[in-house]
């Protein structure tokens, strides 16, 4: 910690938006469980994770982010080991994937924390190589840092979070001066690779893409059921919604996974288009405050941390809402700070803590 650290630079507007989004998330989870006895305990768990996350924001913010960058080796290899062990019998399976460790009554998903580690590692890399030419070796070295974490996430299998990590990687490459022509070539190569590996994806992953492209061609009604119910919920909410706890698609449980993937649809049904837009504006405000922190950072590593967290929040939020509106295939990505998920919420809180650490040290340190 820095002696005589002043909290005057702490971004309380960002903190306030986080508190508002998290509190609303807990309230919506309470409504979305719709009296299901098995899901009711999730409300308390999300509350505890939210409160613990707020404490973590202050603790992380009080520590100079350069200390975390200096610990990149144990952090990087520690999360790698957790991801590798996850594929063993230690991991808990769900929906055909090994994604969680169970510790008592808690389920910890190391993949969520791996995204923050990727941001830290890339922030350090781009800071150390800021004067190097933006050529192929520079790109490859950055990619290798990401690859040796992403490969273990892909093997779970967890394709959606690998996509999140790759979006963070490409966006940070571009911010650090990658030529648009080079970025286009890499993007085109990635698209070709995605087409090539499609036949090797899990069946449920292929079905998500095919049902999105040709929803009427699948004879299984259940394949598109969640998206159809989400659209019904959003449409039935109208301008101002049916009222908290009175959404028929939500309360009668027609809308599935309504406390996680489709919580935006539950929100739109109960609070209408106005409520849904307010949620979107809060998410945008949080992203904007992170971008502002990046612009005020005192060095490249600080800027990259803040930009990385902003990219993570923006892409996950955009993808979740797009899935609810049937603009993207179902991905399983949560709505930041609103969807249920202890590990996801905790990791985002850690990311915000790092952003606050950057904000608090945007001026030269006084000795």
pLDDT tens readout for residues 175-189? 998 887 877 887 787
Residue 72 lies in a domain: yes
What is the model's pLDDT at position 92? 54
Sheet holding 97-103, edge to edge: 91-94, 97-103, 106-108
User: How sure is the predictor about 93, in pLDDT bands with cuts at 50, 70 and 90?
Assistant: low
Residue 2 lies in a domain: no
169-182 in b/e form (b: 16+ CB < 10 A) is bbbbbebbebeeeb
- According to DSSP, residue 107 is labeled E
Tell me the C-alpha to C-alpha distance, in Å, between residue 96 and each of 37, 53, 236, 316, 359: 25, 29, 33, 22, 41
Enclosing domain of residue 185: 12-360
The answer for residues whose C-beta is within 8 angstroms of residue 104's C-beta and 6 or more apart is none
Q: Is 240 helix (H, G, I), strand (E, B) or coil?
A: coil
Could you tell me how far CA 124 lies from the centroid of its own chain? Answer: 21
Beta bridge pairs of residue 8? none
Residue 366 lies in a domain: no
- State both tokens at 364: 């030269």
Residue 273 lies in a domain: yes
Place of tokens 């739109």: 268
Residue 1 lies in a domain: no
Residue 5 lies in a domain: no
Residue 154 lies in a domain: yes
- State both tokens at 143: 């990619």
Query: Phi and psi at residue 101, in whole multiples of 5°?
Result: -105, 135
- Encode pLDDT of 246-283 as tens digits: 999 999 888 888 999 999 999 999 999 999 999 999 99
- Encode pLDDT of 8-49 as tens digits: 889 999 999 999 999 999 999 999 998 888 889 999 999 999
Tell me whether strands 106-108 and 97-103 are parallel, antiparallel or unpaired: antiparallel
Residue 192 lies in a domain: yes
Q: Cis omega (within 30 of 0) on the bond before 157?
A: yes
Out of 93-107, 161-175, 198-212, give the one with best mean pLDDT.
161-175
CB 262 within 8 A of CB 276: no
**For residue 153, which of 205, 90, 79 has the smallest C-alpha distance?**
79
Q: Environment class of residue 308 by beta-carbon count within 10 Å: exposed (0-12), middle (13-18) or buried (19+)?
A: buried
What is the model's pLDDT at position 321? 96
Tell me the C-alpha to C-alpha distance, in Å, between residue 219 and each of 201, 216, 228, 255, 328: 21, 7, 15, 20, 20
Tell me the C-alpha to C-alpha distance, in Å, between residue 167 and each of 14, 81, 99, 238, 312: 23, 23, 21, 34, 8
Return d(Cα 222, Cα 109) in angstroms, integer: 27
Q: How many CB atoms lie within 10 A of CB 249?
A: 25
**How many domains, the chain?**
1
């Amino acid at each position: 910690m820095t002696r005589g650290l002043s909290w005057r630079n702490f971004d309380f507007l960002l903190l306030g938006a986080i508190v508002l989004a998290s509190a609303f998330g807990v309230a919506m989870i309470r409504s979305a469980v719709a009296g299901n006895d098995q899901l009711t305990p999730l409300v308390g768990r999300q509350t505890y994770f939210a409160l613990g996350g707020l404490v973590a924001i202050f603790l992380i913010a009080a520590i100079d982010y350069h200390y975390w960058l200096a610990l990149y080796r144990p952090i990087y290899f520690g999360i790698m080991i957790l991801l590798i062990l996850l594929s063993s019998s230690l991991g808990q399976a769900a929906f055909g994937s090994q994604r969680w460790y169970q510790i008592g009554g808690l389920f910890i998903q190391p993949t969520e924390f791996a995204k923050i580690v990727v941001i830290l590692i890339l922030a350090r890399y781009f800071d150390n190589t800021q004067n190097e030419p933006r050529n192929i070796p520079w790109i490859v070295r950055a990619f290798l840092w990401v690859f040796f974490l992403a490969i273990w996430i892909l093997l779970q299998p967890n394709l959606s979070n690998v996509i999140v990590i790759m979006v963070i990687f490409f966006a940070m490459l571009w911010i650090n001066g990658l030529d648009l022509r080079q970025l286009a070539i890499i993007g085109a190569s990635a698209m070709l690779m995605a087409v090539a590996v499609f036949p090797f994806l899990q069946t449920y992953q292929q079905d998500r893409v095919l049902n999105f492209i040709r929803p009427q061609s699948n004879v299984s009604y259940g394949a598109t059921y969640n998206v159809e119910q989400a659209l019904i919920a959003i449409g039935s909410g109208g301008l101002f919604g049916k009222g908290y706890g009175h959404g028929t698609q939500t309360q009668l449980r027609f809308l599935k996974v309504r406390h996680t993937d489709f919580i935006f649809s539950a929100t739109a049904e109960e609070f209408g288009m106005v409520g849904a837009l307010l949620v979107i504006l809060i998410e945008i405000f949080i992203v904007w405050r992170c971008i502002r922190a990046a612009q005020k950072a005192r060095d490249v590593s600080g800027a990259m941390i803040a930009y990385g967290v902003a990219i993570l929040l923006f892409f996950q939020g955009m993808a979740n809402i797009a899935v609810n509106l049937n603009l993207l295939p179902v991905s399983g990505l949560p709505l930041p700070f609103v969807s249920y998920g202890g590990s996801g919420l905790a990791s985002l809180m850690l990311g915000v803590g790092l952003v606050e650490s950057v904000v608090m040290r945007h001026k030269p340190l006084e000795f």
